[in-house]
Structure 1
Amino acid sequence: MADKVWFITGVSSGFGRVLAEEAARRGDKVIGTVRQHRQLEEFNAISPGNSFAYIMDVTNPDGVKATVDAAVKHLGQIDVLVNNAGFGFLGAVEEATVQEFREVMETNFFGAVQVTQAVLPYMREQGSGNILQMSSAAGFRSTQGFGVYNASKFALEGMSEALAQEVAPLGIKVSIIEPGPFRTNFAGSSIKCAKKELPAYEKTAHVFKNTILGYSGEQDGDPVKAAQVLLQVVDSDNPPLRLPLGSIAYEAVRKKLAQVEQNLSDWENIATKTSFND
């Protein structure tokens, strides 16, 4: 199998970093984006000649296009795009300000949109490519205290599901990746909290927030094993549209599906009686 060229956003740590390391280790070329200059040499040293760091902020559209163009000029193509850059956010919906909502959406959703749009012309021209959208089990099933983050990942999944249908005839495959809890810094330095706290949510949103903040470094999932699964996804002739990662994510998705099915059954005889009688 020919070596692939990867473009992965947010490789300073977490899933992005581990996936970049695993792809480079097998001989693929990896462009990784970071936010700080001190991270450049560190990433380049992962696999000299295979790993290349670029400074890029996914919320800067001009910078995104310039970086993607430079990456293609450097390595000739992009075979795999991984929209990984993002951060978590904890707090009840009422506690979060609209500005806090916007900041999460700007990175987790609009950032991914901008990178995807910058890469697509090259993938269309070459008639092939894989796009991995790093969502979350929280992008399929919402949880009290996680509504802001849920919103950003639900948006990403809705866009990506439509995108997959649009680009399939062009030889481009889209997979929405939905990890459960993995032992990264997601629950540590990569998560933010609403500045406002309301006592009304002590027994709902705050319970979840404290749980997430309390298990950093103790999560069930192994990021290296997850990265190895993602290598199999991009090597597959028939990659999944959605891929929950880890048993906890599978349980969450199945629980949501059961809830939706029950809701449909409970209301079908009422909600479907909406057609004109003629």
Structure 2
Amino acid sequence: MSKVWFITGATRGLGAELARAALAAGHTVVATGRKPEALERALGTSERLLAVPLDVTAPGQPEAAVKAALARFGRIDVLVNNAGYGLVGALEETSADELSQQFATNVLGLAAVTRAVLPTMRAQRSGHIFNMSSAAGLAGFPGASAYCASKFAVEGLSESLSHEVAPLGIKVTLVEPGYFRTEFLTDGSAVFAQKVIADYDATAGEMRRGSRAMNGNQAGDPRKLAQALLTLSAATHPPLRFNAGTDSVALLEQLLTTRREELGRWRDLSLSLAYAS
């Protein structure tokens, strides 16, 4: 069954790969990004493709993009909130403005686009929302405190949203990728805190160096992830969370073990906190 996909951050990386895969599968795509000319270069032209300018942090632009999509295709079946970036730096190195911008894009922008699309999905009594989280939404990493915080926020927002919209026929899936070979870690995408404190060289400094070294060497294939999202979009009962990549799966398995062990060590103290009867 052909669906109308609305994809943010579609100029490159996973967003572009997903747009190409959806078009190749016979779907219709509304591809959005801050630079429409970059969308056209990345995706070409098609009767089933609409390129729409969208900065998710700009007031009014999400609503305008949705309006354009509905004017052209009449409905939106799948929303993919893919726009976002990573900020590398220790919390003390991160300025208030840098932290604010991280949340403005990764959290508030995602929420704004979702709010703009939800009236249409509610009226349809159908739809599927994919929110791009990260393995960094599962665990904290030194030198990525702001990015992890933004993805933890996406996790809580999306899980709560899933309960709100399930009675309306709308599905929500959090995608939690590990490292995929996209432009995410390039100088034009990854952002590094301007302030550098020598005391954090072994932690945040290592994250800076590791991010640059990892660029171009990530194990995950974004084309395969795009195909996986097509599979999930066709599932009758898709997962709330989808761990994407071997590193994401390994991280979750480790977390389940360590969280259970920690709970066991402190269980008696936790259970001792009730008022005595």
Counterpart Cα distance in 2 of 1:124 and 1:59: 24
Q: What does 1:4-153 align with in structure 2 at a 5 Å threshold?
A: 4-43=3-42, 45=44, 48-153=46-151
Equivalent AA in structure 1 for residue 253 of structure 2 = R
Query: Does 2:183 match 1:185?
Result: yes
Contact 1:10–1:34 (Cα < 8 Å) also in 2? yes
Deviation at 1:270, TM superposition (A): 0.6
Deviation at 1:44, TM superposition (A): 5.5
Once the two structures are superposed, what CA deviation does each residue of 1:48-102 show, in whole Å capped at 9, x if it has no partner? 1122110111011311111111211210100000000000110111110111100
Contact 1:43–1:53 (Cα < 8 Å) also in 2? no
Equivalent AA in structure 2 for residue 227 of structure 1 = A
Query: Which residue of structure 1 lines up, in the alignment, with residue 155 of structure 2?
Result: 157
Contact 2:10–2:33 (Cα < 8 Å) also in 1? yes
1:43 and 1:76, CA in 2 relative to 1: closer, same or farther beyond 3 A?
Answer: farther
Deviation at 1:184, TM superposition (A): 0.1
Contact 2:8–2:33 (Cα < 8 Å) also in 1? yes
1:182 and 1:44, CA in 2 relative to 1: closer, same or farther beyond 3 A?
Answer: closer
- Secondary structure, aligned partner of 2:173: strand
Which residue, out of 166, 169, 192, partners 2:167? 169
Deviation at 1:252, TM superposition (A): 1.1
Contact 1:80–1:132 (Cα < 8 Å) also in 2? yes
> Mean alpha-carbon deviation: is it higher for 228-237 or for 54-63?
54-63
Q: TM-score, normalised by structure 1?
A: 0.97
- Secondary structure, aligned partner of 1:20: helix
Contact 1:129–1:171 (Cα < 8 Å) also in 2? yes
Counterpart Cα distance in 2 of 1:208 and 1:215: 10
- Secondary structure, aligned partner of 1:33: strand
Deviation at 1:38, TM superposition (A): 2.1
Query: Which residue of structure 2 lines up, in the alignment, with residue 246 of structure 1?
Result: 245
Deviation at 1:23, TM superposition (A): 0.3
Counterpart Cα distance in 1 of 2:265 and 2:43: 56
Aligned-pair identity in percent equals 42
Contact 1:6–1:81 (Cα < 8 Å) also in 2? yes
Counterpart Cα distance in 1 of 2:37 and 2:119: 31
Counterpart Cα distance in 2 of 1:203 and 1:44: 41
Unpaired segments of 5 or more residues in structure 2?
none
Once the two structures are superposed, what CA deviation does each residue of 1:83-131 show, in whole Å capped at 9, x if it has no partner? 0000011011111011110000000000000000000010000000000
Counterpart Cα distance in 1 of 2:131 and 2:39: 24
Contact 1:145–1:204 (Cα < 8 Å) also in 2? yes
- Secondary structure, aligned partner of 1:3: coil
- Secondary structure, aligned partner of 1:94: helix
Deviation at 1:255, TM superposition (A): 1.5
Counterpart Cα distance in 2 of 1:104 and 1:123: 28
Contact 2:16–2:43 (Cα < 8 Å) also in 1? no
Report the aligned-residue RMSD: 1.0
> Mean alpha-carbon deviation: is it higher for 126-135 or for 49-58?
49-58
Contact 1:43–1:51 (Cα < 8 Å) also in 2? no
Counterpart Cα distance in 2 of 1:143 and 1:166: 30
Contact 1:178–1:249 (Cα < 8 Å) also in 2? yes
- Secondary structure, aligned partner of 1:32: strand
Q: TM-score, normalised by structure 2?
A: 0.97
Counterpart Cα distance in 2 of 1:118 and 1:258: 39
Task: Spell out structure 1 runs of 4+ moving beyond 3 A.
Answer: none
Unpaired segments of 5 or more residues in structure 1?
none
Equivalent AA in structure 1 for residue 90 of structure 2 = A
